[in-house]
Chains A and B, each alone.
Chain A
Amino acid sequence: MRSEPVRMAIVRAQGLGKTYRVADKQPGLAGTLRHFVNRRERLIAAVQEVSFSIEPGEFVGFLGANGAGKTTTLKMLTGLIHPTSGTVEVAGHQPQRREADFLGQITLVMGQKQQLIWDLPPLDSLRVNAAVYGIPPAESRRRIAELAEMLELGDELRRPVRKLSLGQRMKAELLAALLHRPSVLFLDEPTLGLDVNAQARVRSFLADYNRRFGATVLLTSHYMADITALCPRVLLIHEGRLFYDGSLETLTQRLAPCREVRLELHAPLGAEAFASYGEVETIEGREVRLLIPRERLTEQVGRLLADLAVVDLSVSDPPIEDIIGRLFHQGALA
């Protein structure tokens, strides 16, 4: 008898919730004084009933608007804050106990916070991290060389951090965060503020790291390009609740039941000419963009080609940014 190896989840959240107690305070001096005398507090549920599990080696995108509860969830997964309800397990540990063995297996990169020593070259910070994680000097040199090559970092490691560009600094931050070779990576906006080239480089590094070391990655980003390029699976959190867990394509289909058809016509036509084919998005001279429901796509495209003088036609999904953006703006999700 052969048995299939059982795949154990490396990250598991069950009914996870976090409630904050915040001061209920009116703005202005008067409000502050009133608050000082009569303290009122209110409970805010930042995260509610979130359950999911991630298997080793997965690359998962974590989506949600600002304040949706992404960072709170990441902080519970890394043990920085204690959940109010539910359970978390990461790499076989309860994160909030912050055992050394657990901390040695994870890392957290935050795009807007840095751990490198500002006045010193990154190499000095790396030496500190190597000592803290108990990595022998020879091994640490080998790893720095390997990661530096993957990140295309060279001399920058010998220049004071304050003299590095934002992109170089972020790459050095990644090196510092990965020196102990963690198997679970929590990345909170690692490409924040970077230019397009630097973003692409960070992205390909992360893909490379995930492949080479079989690391599990949970990534949040405001740049959809990061998510589409890296994450076959996404978790979408909305107002503290897990709204979607699955592949990016299914999410797109579910959120965008229409596809976008771009037409180039022989001669311009008025909007009324397209009413029977689908919803008109824009008309600019001979260029027309229509939205057509997926299930009628082939039929309508056939009709368009037969009825009108079409020079060129292409079909695409509306940009994912638009879909997600629309989702967050509408607020209500049904």
Chain B
Amino acid sequence: MGRYLTTLRVFWIASLTAELEYQANFLIELVATAGNLVGSIFVLSLFYGRGQSLGGWSWEGALVVLGIYTLLEGITSTLLQPNLSTIVAHVRTGSLDFVLLKPIDSQFWLSARTFSPWGLPGIALGAGLIGYAAWKAGATPTPLTLLGAALMLVASLMILYSLWFVLAASSIWFVKIWNATEVLRSVLVAGRFPVSAFPAGLRAFFTFIVPVAFLTTVPAEAILGRASGPWLLAGGAVAIASVVLSRWFWTFALRFYTSASS
């Protein structure tokens, strides 16, 4: 375990060193994320313009959902995107060989190798929006709701990571397939809105097929202190199941890996 922590530190220092050669990126990313967020808030405000509500959610509640979405986007740009999108390249060029020859867990290496600071503005803006909107919504934090909220956020990250990892790992079979992770990213955009805002069919899809509901709506309800026990349990169960699935899928995929011929 200690070795993994040391390795993680070295990984992230090395990738920060590489990224910080391009300092201007930070400012550009901050402006882009803020612009995106303003756009999303504007779109959301259109739904509430005439005193209507979205799927039974108040304006402030919907903002919490949007905040969580922004936070997840930030984490995606910081960890998921830079790491998991390189799996495809590793498979294509055969450099996955080097990863597999290291005496360290290959899934760990592929998932944690890079830390890109450019998602940090998104994380900060998302967290800020969550705090502000929850306060405006009149949420009264108790230790129990805070714990529930934190657990649901972690569960949401576990689900997002697993979905992404499984898709990226499938490049072992479909080496040259379009980058399927981009498709996933556009489906996840649905997470900007509470899942109850969608028609019944889509709601079922976003709950059971691609569990977008567990990514933003369930954690938002936990933050607002109105999550029901069954939903929290379901969130936790889906999270654990997806991580186990990603783990199993990786060992399965590796059995098919024969590495690019040279």
Contacts and interface: CB of A to CB of B under 8 A. Distances in A.
Interface stretch (A57-65, A119-127, A237-245, A270-278): A119-127
Top-5 shortest CB links A-B:
A100-B103, A103-B103, A131-B10, A115-B98, A131-B7
Given A120-B17, A127-B14, A104 B103 contact: yes
Given A78-B101, A132-B109, 17 more contacts: A79-B100, A80-B97, A80-B259, A81-B258, A103-B101, A108-B97, A110-B262, A113-B94, A115-B95, A115-B98, A117-B18, A120-B14, A128-B10, A128-B14, A129-B102, A131-B9, A134-B103
B87 to A, nearest CB: 16
Given A20-B258, A113-B262, A114-B95, A107 B14 contact: no
Contacts of B7: 128, 131-132
9 contacts: A103-B102, A113-B98, A114-B95, A117-B18, A120-B17, A128-B7, A131-B10, A134-B3, A188-B262
A133 interface: yes
A98 interface: yes
A94 to B, nearest CB: 15
Interface of B: 3, 6-7, 9-11, 14, 17-18, 21, 93-95, 97-98, 100-104, 109, 255, 257-259, 261-262
Nearest to A100: B103
A71 B261 contact: yes
B101 A80 contact: yes
A106 interface: yes
A165 interface: no
A112 interface: yes
B97 A131 contact: no
B262 A106 contact: no
A134 B262 CA distance: 30
Interface string A39-75: 0000000000000000000000000000000010001
A73 to B, nearest CB: 13
A113 B103 contact: no
Nearest to A82: B255
Interface of A: 20, 71, 75, 78-82, 98, 100-101, 103-104, 106-108, 110, 112-115, 117, 119-120, 124-125, 127-134, 188
Q: Classify the secondary structure of A's interface with B.
A: mixed
B3 A131 contact: yes
Contacts of A125: 14
Contacts of B6: 131
A188 B97 CA distance: 13
A127 B18 CA distance: 14
Nearest to A81: B258
A110 B93 CA distance: 12
B97 A110 contact: yes
A129 B17 CA distance: 16
A172 to B, nearest CB: 14
Contacts of A120: 14, 17-18
A103 B6 CA distance: 19
Nearest to B22: A119
Nearest to A121: B17
Nearest to B106: A98
Nearest to A111: B262
- Looking at B18, B98, B104, the one whose CB has the most chain A CB atoms below 10 A away is B98
Contacts of A20: 258
B95 A113 contact: yes
A107 B98 CA distance: 9
B262 A71 contact: yes
Contacts of B9: 131
Contact of B93 (A75, A80, A113): A113
Contacts of B103: 100-101, 103-104, 132-134
B259 to A, nearest CB: 6
Given A103-B102, A113-B93, A120-B18, A127 B10 contact: yes
Contacts of A71: 261-262
Contacts of B95: 113-115
A114 B7 CA distance: 20
A127 B11 CA distance: 9
A188 B93 CA distance: 16
B175 to A, nearest CB: 13
B259 A98 contact: no
A132 B17 CA distance: 18
A20 B10 CA distance: 39
Given A115-B95, A117-B14, A131-B7, A106 B101 contact: yes
Contacts of A115: 95, 98
A158 B66 CA distance: 45
A81 B259 contact: yes
A43 B1 CA distance: 43
- Looking at A131, A134, A188, the one whose CB has the most chain B CB atoms below 10 A away is A131
A113 B97 contact: yes
B258 to A, nearest CB: 5
Contacts of A106: 101
Nearest to A46: B261
B22 to A, nearest CB: 10
Contacts of B14: 117, 120, 124-125, 127-128
B21 A119 contact: yes
